Structure 1
């Protein structure tokens, strides 16, 4: 006895199974591809309110006219080599500092009111989160200001001058880049550069330099006109490139 429905439904079933198989293979192929996040217009995370130990802090969008006096401390060995709040790798031997509110990369003059020493540092981290303290100096900054031995000192913090070309929100002018990789092999650097440009970062570049006796080809995504734009890009690119950080021209 013939079963005509089989001659009709079996090919249809096979076609459906084949379509499902092709779709699965297509999705598997896409999952294996490296994608680079494209530019967006979202606000940088370092300018958004954040909470530490039950206290919420609201970062300033502009550093213009900022000035305060209080206690400075310093941090070093336990944080050296770790990632800072702005995405850079903390180097205790550089002149940087941590502040709870000032925009990242703000240049501040810190004056030790106990000995008169004064020094300009760059904000690249958040803190200190200890009651009564207003700024955390790098070990290098603490030594220069005479704070290292005692641990703390009364200081004055003020934004260092004005920046020609700063935007309406007090943003520092660029250009800025986001470093997303460093390769000994130029071919690897060039392949990443091609992907960045294809993803919309038309101003990306390769900067080659010798570091600790090793020649590296650094890949920079860009170009970004302000620190805020660069920081937003760093956060976006950081989902694909661990350790991405902002650099100036």
Structure 2
């Protein structure tokens, strides 16, 4: 049994530890399609105010749980594609806050996606009728079945799916930060976060987190470190133990697999 597996077993036996698992957004084939952006290259409509601060992106790129299932927002690249079922949401949510702190406007051309970075610009092709619309992601969802995107009422109308309610669609990423990529540099951009961590434990008591931190310090090489992140969970203090130093989600996943950390959770921040 390798040392990290021993540590993992130790953590699982410690008091009040929480370990989570989840899945990640799957990269698709690059699209050869072309979209002509507005002259400014911006996809902000009228007086629409968008939330695009670094703090917002850090908050909305963290893993989250809905109906007992964990979701892991992840990186994406211009041209990435995804196929699946689209739905739409309207009056019930109109005027309420979206996941990135904006106010949902059912008449704006926006959408909800479970894992794409906020303000990602996405072309939605309705494969049932050939119609297309370009939307900005400003919310999380849908959390029903295998649906991949929830369109605003107006966006659903643009591809003639309001009456039917659902449609087979293809999503193509066109840009980030509320803008369609127009230059080669922008097209090569990836919406990403600066660091990746592996959470190996979360404790109500600081002493449990410190013991786990010390154990990992004994075995990690110079490429990685182990830190304790203070926070709250269900309005109570919590001490999370994170392994740091991972430069990509792939590197973090490889580390998990090599060291049998199956229940550990990858954090993007």
- State TM-score, norm by structure 1: 0.49
The structure number with the bigger radius of gyration is 1
More helix by share: 1
Q: TM-score, normalised by structure 2?
A: 0.46
